[in-house]
Structure 1
Amino acid sequence: MDQLTCLPQEHVVWGRDILAHVAASLGDYSITRPITFTVSFLEGLHGEYLLPNMTDSAGIFTDLPPHVPDFAVQAGLRACLASRAESIVALGGGSVLDAAKAVSAQHFRETGRYLPIAALPTTLSGSEFSHYFGVTETSGTRKFKRSYAVRETVPKLVAIDPQLIAGTPRELLLSSAIKGIDHAVEGMRRVGIDHPHAILAARGVERFLDVLERWPKGLETRAAIEQDLISFDDLLQLQLAAWQCYFYPASVIYGLSHRIGHILGGTFGLPHSMTSCVTLAPVIRACAGTYGDKLGIFGKDAGHASAANTLADRIERAIEALELPSRLRAFDLPREVLPEVAAMLMQHYPDEVADLGDAPEPKLAALLEGLW
């Protein structure tokens, strides 16, 4: 039996130059007395577009390190309680969005009330459309990023404006697009080609690659726009692609590429957006038997081996052309930790490792060695 599970996301608005209007009308979306979660790099964006137009701001909180460490969640909760915030505006990438969700969930545990979230995403992973978030536990002998799924934390409002990503650093922006493609592909694990996820994800991947495959080399986004090499409409196409790739997150279960990324990021500190650049294409090939012919929806090849290889090849070519890292050695990750990564994957994510097929443990070791 197929099924479609929807989240309680109430509004998604998109377009050019909408940020000031959205900030002025937050109350219309039940976002009242919001505290803004963001990072220092984005304070200028906040000051230019949001703060002058927000009528009842409860302040700003910027102490949000990558991978959402547990102590940052507690600090964010204290800031919300101290400011008497009634909601959160999350201005940033996946870590900012995850922190907002984690704080909203913790606020419910403390007070019995979730804090509604308005998401203004500055990257392309699509976290703003989901109820998933990760929190890195820091008290053990090894840090571990634990995943949660809390429906009530999905942002009530998402605002998409290309101005949000025009200033995002090149590597972060482009690697987060690969993370968005990862959502589309791994979302196929437990659905068929007639599922709405599959149909939208296929369009989202094509929309992503149509822009990424003509992206100029060596330029930050604003410089590329000034030289007429890309346009604000191209940026909006990327943002809409991220949405299509992650349109029904409650209906899909993600796989080994994501789980390797959680270990590499939460435990070993690799940039979260970069991990899919390393893991996605090799995992597609390694798990082709599990996905079967379904990956053909992302191209014209029939048969699981050719479909998987065609898709993986295209993703790898895009990563290379975008000058993004594709091997773990680029991050100075010691090769000696690979057995520990494998052990953590076997312990915490056995179902995803099982996608490798029979005798998955040696296949996992070989896969990780290949990633290095």
Structure 2
Amino acid sequence: MAQLLPLPQNLIVWGENVLASTISAFPEHGIERPIVFSVDFLDAMRRDLVEPHLVGSVGNYLNLPAHAPDIAIEESLERIRSLGARSIIAHGGGSVLDAAKAASHLHHERTGTFLPIAALPTTLSGSEFSHYFGITETNGPVRFKRSYAVRETVPTIVVLDPLLLLDTPVELLLSSAIKGMDHAVEGMRTVDVDHPHAIMAASGLNQFAAVLERWPRGLPPRLAIESGAVTHRDLLSLQLAAWHCYFAPASVIYGLSHRIGHILGGTYGLPHSVTSCITLAPVIRACADRYGPKLSIFGESRIAPAAAQLANRIEGLVTAQGLPDRVGPLGLDRSILPDVHDLLVRSYPAEVADLGDAAEAKLTSLLDSLW
């Protein structure tokens, strides 16, 4: 039986120069006494484009490292309590969104009340459309990014405006687009080609590819626009692609590329979006039998099987943009391979099983190939 499980999002606004007017209307949608979650490198944008339009803001919290460590979440909750905040504006990428969802969830556990979230995403992973988040636990023998799925934490309002992408570092921006593609592809694990996820994901992945194929290698967003190679409309197309790739997150179950990313990121500190640049194409090849011919929805070819064709296309985008495609050059030694393997087998057996017969041996080979 196929099914669609909608999430409780009230408003999604997209377009050029919609940011100011939408922020001003936040109180009409339950965003009252908001605290702004963000990061230091977005300080100028926050001061110039966000805070002047806020109504009733009580302050901000900026100490949000990657992968939402539990220590930062606890500090943010204390900040929320001391300021009397009743909602969160998440201005940033996936880690900021994770922190906002985690804070809302823990606030509910302790007070009985979720904090509504308004999302102003500055990357392209699509976290603003999901109820998934991770909290990196730091007090055990090994850091571990634990996954949660809490419907009430999905942002109730999302604003997509190209202005939000202009100050994002180019590697972060484009690698987060590959993370968005990861959602599109791995979302196919448990659905067929007639599912809304499949239809929207195919649109999103192809939109991503169309812009990334024209993006001048290494140029940050403002300079890329000045060069004439891309436009503000292209940036909006990327934002909409992230939405399409993550259109039905409660209706799908993600796979091994995501799980390897959680270990390499949460435990060993690699940037979350970068992990998909390294893992997605190899995992598609390794799990080709699991997905079967349904990956042809992303583009058919008479020359190569669907999985091989898709993996080659994604790998080509990563290479063309000079994005990281191996773990070793990022500073992690091969000596951690047995620990990564054991964490995956112990924590994510269903996803490892996607490799088929002799899955654990295949996982060893797959991980070795990533270095």
TM normalised by structure 2 equals: 0.99
Assess if the C-alpha contact under 8 Å between 1:296 and 1:302 holds in 2.
Answer: no
| Amino acid in structure 1 at the alignment position of 2:306 | A
2:12 aligns to what SS in structure 1? strand
Q: Percent identity?
A: 60
1:189 aligns to what SS in structure 2? coil
| Amino acid in structure 2 at the alignment position of 1:273 | S
Residue equivalent to 1:310? 309
Instruction: Give yes or no for the alignment of 1:238 onto 2:238.
Output: yes
Q: CA deviation at 1:127?
A: 0.2
Assess if the C-alpha contact under 8 Å between 2:36 and 2:88 holds in 1.
Answer: yes
Residue equivalent to 1:348? 347
Assess if the C-alpha contact under 8 Å between 1:3 and 1:251 holds in 2.
Answer: yes
Matched residues in 2 for 1:326 and 1:120: separation? 29
1:146 aligns to what SS in structure 2? strand
RMSD (Å) for aligned C-alpha atoms: 1.0
Matched residues in 2 for 1:19 and 1:4: separation? 30
Assess if the C-alpha contact under 8 Å between 2:170 and 2:220 holds in 1.
Answer: yes
Instruction: Give yes or no for the alignment of 1:133 onto 2:133.
Output: yes
Residue equivalent to 1:260? 260
Q: CA deviation at 1:20?
A: 1.2
2:118 aligns to what SS in structure 1? strand
**1:77-110: per-residue Cα shift (whole Å, max 9, x none)?**
1111111001000000000000000000011011
**1:268-289: per-residue Cα shift (whole Å, max 9, x none)?**
0001110000000000000000
Residue equivalent to 2:165? 165
- Off by >6 Å, runs of 4+ in structure 1: none
2:158 aligns to what SS in structure 1? strand
Assess if the C-alpha contact under 8 Å between 2:171 and 2:218 holds in 1.
Answer: no
| Gap runs ≥5 in structure 2 | none
| Amino acid in structure 2 at the alignment position of 1:134 | G
Instruction: Give yes or no for the alignment of 1:17 onto 2:17.
Output: yes
Residue equivalent to 1:289? 289
Matched residues in 2 for 1:218 and 1:265: separation? 23
Q: CA deviation at 1:302?
A: 6.8
Matched residues in 2 for 1:283 and 1:44: separation? 38
Residue equivalent to 2:102? 102
Q: CA deviation at 1:254?
A: 0.2
Residue equivalent to 2:156? 156
Corresponding pairs, count: 371
Residue equivalent to 1:280? 280
Provide closer, same or farther for how the CA distance between residues 188 and 141 of structure 1 changes in structure 2, counting only shifts above 3 A. same
Matched residues in 1 for 2:301 and 2:292: separation? 12
**1:170-222: per-residue Cα shift (whole Å, max 9, x none)?**
00000000000000000000000000000000010001000001110121111
| Amino acid in structure 1 at the alignment position of 2:206 | E
| Amino acid in structure 2 at the alignment position of 1:247 | F
Matched residues in 2 for 1:328 and 1:176: separation? 17
**1:41-79: per-residue Cα shift (whole Å, max 9, x none)?**
112111111211112001010011111000111011111
The farther-off stretch of 16-25 and 341-350 is: 16-25
Assess if the C-alpha contact under 8 Å between 1:293 and 1:302 holds in 2.
Answer: no
Assess if the C-alpha contact under 8 Å between 1:68 and 1:135 holds in 2.
Answer: yes
Matched residues in 2 for 1:151 and 1:302: separation? 41
Residue equivalent to 2:217? 217
Matched residues in 1 for 2:20 and 2:238: separation? 21
2:44 aligns to what SS in structure 1? helix
TM normalised by structure 1 equals: 0.98
Assess if the C-alpha contact under 8 Å between 2:182 and 2:280 holds in 1.
Answer: yes
1:269 aligns to what SS in structure 2? coil
